[in-house]
């Protein structure tokens, strides 16, 4: 076995996403396993270079994890020929500029979503990367979660018959920050800083719907800012200018209709923080992050509407758990592995900047639909 070191510039690693899911649970977890075996006698050894604005925070993080390389100078890191990949988990508003620099420096790109704050910006990144000939990937972690992988397995196995509808429920209560600190960063609630639940979540819904059920062909959304004032990380009140809830209806190629509620102002009375119910002519399923339950046509009860009597049985008990039948691993790490195999072993990979741009398109048209109060078609995008 030969060990090949891959230096990965990781920008935004002091943040919520950059630190846990990407640095600790993906890159450092791969190192704990001895690297990534490419199957051709080579083991890739990921060597993170922590990049950010605050030197003291980066130094502390590097020391905490026993890492050697960190820098506050992105240009210098990108000028280093030993760095092969640029990864971006910064705040959304800082992403485009940094990725453009990284493409210009000839680095392969891996990035959090949304890839940009506008469709034009997202498409430009995809075009620049194609012109430069670098490889690129966008985080689409939900596809690699056990619950959704089991749901995809059901779709691929023909369990549903003709799929009629998908109903998604996402959200939880995000504290305002006054009497209990908020559990999400305050920029998420300011439109001027790239916040808003549509820009955050519609990119996820685009790839989930597209890959499992069919391309989104139209969107109709109603957005709200249910909580108009919040308190930031320093306890200072601010105006919440971004949408904190979105109620969306999506038409899909193939004829299914999806309806997804996304909200940071709901209290959870579900088994998981996101759940999708899929109804088809032959059966139905409810999938969350980890679990998936089904009810086949042959086992469907016949409820009769009669509110004068209590329900005769527990509807929830009439569903059957889909077994894992596999070890799915961490969703972010699974996608990192596929991306590294794509870059260093030429494996196929389609979750790229063009796929990321489709997510930005859905967010952009979702917001436009809400502003105009009408349903909008989604044209297919291409480079
Ligand atoms: N894939 C997912 O499920 C998922 C979930 C949440 C967030 N995200 C995405 O990840 C990205 C980061 O989100 P997060 O929740 O980790 O945010 P965060 O605020 O916790 O972290 C942001 C990071 O960007 C850095 N940064 C760079 N420029 C900045 C600036 N001008 N102002 C403030 N911080 C700046 C911060 O230092 C920090 O390291 C966002 O683009 C978000 O959409 C993805």
In a domain, 382, yes or no: no
Atom number of ligand 1 nearest to Cα 185: 19
The per-residue pLDDT for 68 is 96
Chain position carrying tokens 């988990």: 89
Q: Using 50 as the pLDDT threshold, list the residues of the chain that sit under it.
A: none
* 174 and 37 within one domain: no
* 151 and 74 within one domain: no
* 148 and 97 within one domain: no
The per-residue pLDDT for 82 is 97
Ligand 1, pocket-test mutation among 15, 138, 187, most atoms within 8 A of CB: 15
CATH of the domain at 267: 3.30.360.10
The per-residue pLDDT for 313 is 85
CA distance 126 to 108: 12
The per-residue pLDDT for 49 is 98
Query: Per the structure, how many domains does the chain have?
Result: 2
The per-residue pLDDT for 1 is 87
* 189 and 146 within one domain: yes
End-to-end CA distance of the chain: 40
* 193 and 320 within one domain: yes
The per-residue pLDDT for 52 is 97
* 170 and 104 within one domain: no
CA gyration radius for the chain? Answer: 22
Q: What is the pTM of this model?
A: 0.97
The per-residue pLDDT for 200 is 98
In short, whether 23's Cβ falls inside 6 Å of ligand 1 is: no
* 231 and 103 within one domain: no
In a domain, 148, yes or no: yes
CA distance 370 to 219: 10
Is the peptide bond prior to 382 cis by the omega test (within 30 degrees of 0)?
no
The phi-psi region of residue 314 (left if phi > 0; otherwise alpha if psi is between -120 and 50; otherwise beta) is: beta
Q: Is 11 exposed, middle or buried (0-12, 13-18, 19+ CB in 10 A)?
A: buried
Secondary structure class of 13 (helix, strand, coil)? coil
Atom number of ligand 1 nearest to Cα 54: 37
> Phi and psi of 128, rounded to 5°?
-60, -40
In short, whether 88's Cβ falls inside 6 Å of ligand 1 is: no
Give the tokens for residue 223: 């957005």
The length of the chain is: 383
The per-residue pLDDT for 312 is 84
Is the peptide bond prior to 139 cis by the omega test (within 30 degrees of 0)?
no
CA distances from 345 to 31, 114, 132, 342, 353 (A): 18, 27, 19, 6, 19
Secondary structure class of 278 (helix, strand, coil)? strand
The angle formed by the CA atoms of residues 198, 233 and 236, to the nearest 5 degrees, is 100
In short, whether 185's Cβ falls inside 6 Å of ligand 1 is: yes
In a domain, 355, yes or no: no
In short, whether 141's Cβ falls inside 6 Å of ligand 1 is: yes
CA distances from 210 to 160, 281, 291 (A): 17, 20, 21
In short, whether 18's Cβ falls inside 6 Å of ligand 1 is: yes
| String of DSSP letters for 16-31 | HHIIIIIIIIIIIHHH
* 302 and 187 within one domain: yes
CATH of the domain at 51: 3.40.50.720
Domain span at residue 231? 142-329+361-376
The phi-psi region of residue 109 (left if phi > 0; otherwise alpha if psi is between -120 and 50; otherwise beta) is: beta
The per-residue pLDDT for 350 is 97
Residue 115 and residue 125 in contact, taking contact as beta carbons nearer than 8 Å: yes
* 294 and 166 within one domain: yes
């Amino acid at each position: 076995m030969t060990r090949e070191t891959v230096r990965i510039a990781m920008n935004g690693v002091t943040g919520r996403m950059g630190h846990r899911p990407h640095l600790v649970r993906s890159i450092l977890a791969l190192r704990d396993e001895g690297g990534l075996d490419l199957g051709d006698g080579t083991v890739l050894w990921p060597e993170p270079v922590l990049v950010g604005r605050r030197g003291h925070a980066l130094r502390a993080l590097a020391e905490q994890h026993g890492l050697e390389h960190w820098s506050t100078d992105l240009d210098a890191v990108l000028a280093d020929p030993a760095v092969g990949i640029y990864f971006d988990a910064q705040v959304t508003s800082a992403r485009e500029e940094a990725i453009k620099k990284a493409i210009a420096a000839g680095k392969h790109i891996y990035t959090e979503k949304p890839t940009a704050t506008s469709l034009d910006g997202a498409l430009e990144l995809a075009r620049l990367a194609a012109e430069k000939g670098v490889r690129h990937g966008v985080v689409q972690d939900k596809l690699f979660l056990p619950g959704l992988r089991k749901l995809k397995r059901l779709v691929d196995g023909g369990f549903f018959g003709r799929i009629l509808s998908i109903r998604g429920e996402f959200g939880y209560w995000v504290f305002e920050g006054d009497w209990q600190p908020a559990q999400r960063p305050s920029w998420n609630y300011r439109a001027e800083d790239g916040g808003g639940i549509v820009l955050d979540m519609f990119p996820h819904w685009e790839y989930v719907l597209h890959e499992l059920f069919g391309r989104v062909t139209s969107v109709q959304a109603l957005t709200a800012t249910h909580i108009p004032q919040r308190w930031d990380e320093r306890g200072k009140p601010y105006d919440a200018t971004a949408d904190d809830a979105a109620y969306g209806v999506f038409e899909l190629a193939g004829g299914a209709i999806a309806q997804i509620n996304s909200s940071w102002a709901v209290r959870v009375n579900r088994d998981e923080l996101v759940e999708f119910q899929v109804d088809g002519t032959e059966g139905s399923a409810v999938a969350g992050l980890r679990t998936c339950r089904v009810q086949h046509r042959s086992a469907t009860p016949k409820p009769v509407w009669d509110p004068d009597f209590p329900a005769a049985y527990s509807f929830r008990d009439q569903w059957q758990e889909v077994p894992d039948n596999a070890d799915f691993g961490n969703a972010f790490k699974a996608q990192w592995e596929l991306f590294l195999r794509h870059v260093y072993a030429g494996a196929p990979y389609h979750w790229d900047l063009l796929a990321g741009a489709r997510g930005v398109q859905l967010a952009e048209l979702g917001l436009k639909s809400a502003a105009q109060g009408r349903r909008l078609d989604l044209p297919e995008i291409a480079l």
